Amino acid sequence: MNRMKTIDAKLIIWDLDGTLIDSKRDIAFAVNETLERIDHPPISEEEIYSYVGNGVRPLIERAVAASGGGNSLDTAIKHFQKIYLAHLLDTTILFDGILDVLRHFENKKMAVASNKPYLYVTKILEGLHVADLFMSVKGGDSLPTRKPDPEMIKVILHEAGVGPENAVFVGDSAVDIQTGKNAGVHTIGVSYGFRPLTELMKSAPDLLIPTPLDLKHAIR
């Protein structure tokens, strides 16, 4: 892995949570509020953060199991969906420097590929006033499959009219990097996000970036 090289890209595809936005506290609040509704004890925010990235069901499945298990999964998911929808912009913000990065790349095609449900993704992007910067937005329920399946990326490539050799996927997790590799696009891992640096390093992205502003120099 070479940290100094740059990647030529006509299309930049972004993960959302942990890459563009810091949404940890709102997610943790909604998870623990959900656990309270089903009479389960809360779990630590750090543990919840480690569950983020694969979609709502895996998140709640792991949280319920960590707080005692039982047969309340479907009920818990319904609670979470309502609670999170009402609170997903309470404290969620763009990472410091990300708005500058997005504006820097306004001349390129950009898209978002998230395992978060599409309704949440669009509401957050609109609430943070960046939705118009993306030519395509995909959520975890936009297609039959979710990351690391490459279909989401392949659909975006088709919509953009760009080949995989001219696209890069930027994300903070091994799931993101594997998704990019499965789709044949370049990959950039960002270590400022939710996942441990060791996880990113093991996933072997083409580039590993420590801060949002470094992205401006990583893609040309």
Element (H, E) at 167: strand 167-171
Catalytic amino acids? 15
- What strands, in cross-sheet order, belong to the sheet with 136-138? 136-138, 109-113, 11-14, 167-171, 186-190, 207-209
Structural contact between residues 64 and 48, judged by C-beta atoms closer than 8 angstroms:
no
Number of CB atoms found within 10 A of residue 20's CB: 28
Element (H, E) at 207: strand 207-209
